[in-house]
Structure 1
Amino acid sequence: MIRNKGALVTSIILLGICMCLFFPFPNYQMVNARVSFMSFPILTDEGYVLLGLLGSALFILALIFLVKGLKKFHLLSMGVVLITFALLPILLMTIYQETFARGIMAISYTENGECQFDVVSKDVLQGECHLELQNRSNEAVSFELEFLDDHLTDNGQRIASLMNVAGPYYVKIEPNRKKFIHIKELLDLSDVPNHIQGGGSSFIHIKIIDGETARIL
């Protein structure tokens, strides 16, 4: 089955490097990504991501070496690699959080959150957000929560981050518990230029902060 052992080993090494480049812990790496490939952000609001381009090239090169290293089952092998590359980081992250992680390192995002903004008056919106977080450790964890935008809209308007106008928000999650978080606030946006006039945002991202330590989920 193995045609070229050196090519196969090279493929495994390159895949390991690719996984380390943008490992989704402690921070989610795809915030602000407009264009992505696998787990690599290619284009963000700031422009092209050279490391993401490098990771994409290495990943493709790893697949080429994989095909060269095997005599047959090329498509099956590439399918296994793609699934493993997608699932293994999540598995490793979960194992770490449920064993050694403490504080905000043990917090995971269990449901994709969403925010809705309704117009109250010219410069006042009612913002309402829902999300669910899980504390995987055996100790209670407290932290400050901020809302982030994936990327600004084409005309530069903020969406989810508008909730920070009424912040900061403080959250405490008991040991080994999930917590559904519902935040509803009136947002005075008179000092926020070019704000949205209502609408919603799903798959929102957040920053959790504990002293000098912060994570993006």
Structure 2
Amino acid sequence: MIRSKVALISSVVILSICMCLFFPFPSNVMLEANTIFMSFPIRNQDGYILLGIIGSILFIIAMILLVIGMKKYHVRTIVIVIIVYSLLPNFLITMYQETLASGITAISYDSNGECDFEDAGEDLLNGECNLILHNRSNEAVSFELEFLDSFMEDDVRMGALMNLAGPYRITIESNHKKSIHLKKLLDLSEVPNHINGGTSSNVHIKIIDGDKTRTL
């Protein structure tokens, strides 16, 4: 079944390097990307990302070496490796957060938050956001929460408008998943070319504790 141990070991080493290049912790390094291959950001609003392109090439080389190293079951092996490669980072992060992490490094976010905005009059907007954060540590964690605009929104401020009514101080008890609901009346009189309404899905956030920050 194994044709070349050298090719297989080389494939594993290269895949490990690829995973380390853009490991999504403590901050999610993929947020600014608008073109992605596997776990590699290829392009963002500033142009192509050289390291992401190099990582993509290395990943393809690793797959080729994997095929070279196997006598048969090529397709099946590639599919299994891709699935494991996609799931392993989240598994490792969860293991770390539940065992060694403390403070904001123990906070996880599924990125499924949503913000809705409705016109409330001239230069006024009703903003309402819902998201779920999980404290995986054995101690309560307190931090400030900020909203970030999506890098896909082409300079249109939406999610970050909620910061006009901030900062938001959040405390999550140990080993607790907290549903956060924020509803604020936003004064946009000093915001040029602002929106009059809309919905922002998969909102990005920043959590801050002193000089420590994480972008999720």
Q: Which structure 2 residues correspond to residues 134-173 of structure 1 after superposition, within 5 A?
A: 134-154=134-154, 156-173=155-172
Gapped regions of structure 2 (runs ≥ 5): none
**Helix, strand or coil for the counterpart of 2:194?**
coil
Distance, in Å, in 1 between the alignment partners of 2:207 and 2:176 is 17
User: Given the two structures, how large is their TM-score scaled by the length of structure 1?
Assistant: 0.96
Distance, in Å, in 1 between the alignment partners of 2:68 and 2:138 is 47
**Helix, strand or coil for the counterpart of 1:98?**
helix
Deviation at 1:66, TM superposition (A): 0.6
Deviation at 1:62, TM superposition (A): 0.7
Deviation per CA, 1:42-95: give whole Å up to 9, x if none: 111122111111111111111011111111111111111111111111111001
8 Å Cα contact 2:158/2:195 also seen in 1: yes
8 Å Cα contact 1:145/1:206 also seen in 2: yes
Distance, in Å, in 1 between the alignment partners of 2:122 and 2:71 is 67
8 Å Cα contact 1:32/1:149 also seen in 2: no
Q: Which structure 2 residues correspond to residues 4-153 of structure 1 after superposition, within 5 A?
A: 4-110=4-110, 112-153=112-153
Distance, in Å, in 1 between the alignment partners of 2:205 and 2:143 is 12
Distance, in Å, in 2 between the alignment partners of 1:203 and 1:148 is 11
| RMSD of equivalent CA atoms | 1.1
**Helix, strand or coil for the counterpart of 1:30?**
coil
User: Given the two structures, how large is their TM-score scaled by the length of structure 2?
Assistant: 0.97
Distance, in Å, in 2 between the alignment partners of 1:194 and 1:44 is 24
Gapped regions of structure 1 (runs ≥ 5): none
Deviation at 1:153, TM superposition (A): 2.2
- Runs (4 or more) in structure 1 with deviation over 2 Å come to none
Deviation at 1:122, TM superposition (A): 3.0
Distance, in Å, in 1 between the alignment partners of 2:152 and 2:186 is 19
**Helix, strand or coil for the counterpart of 1:121?**
coil
Deviation at 1:167, TM superposition (A): 1.0
Distance, in Å, in 2 between the alignment partners of 1:122 and 1:43 is 38
Deviation at 1:32, TM superposition (A): 1.9
Q: Name the amino acid aligned to 2:80.
A: V
Deviation per CA, 1:166-205: give whole Å up to 9, x if none: 1111100011111100011111112112222210011111
8 Å Cα contact 1:152/1:158 also seen in 2: no
Distance, in Å, in 1 between the alignment partners of 2:140 and 2:164 is 27
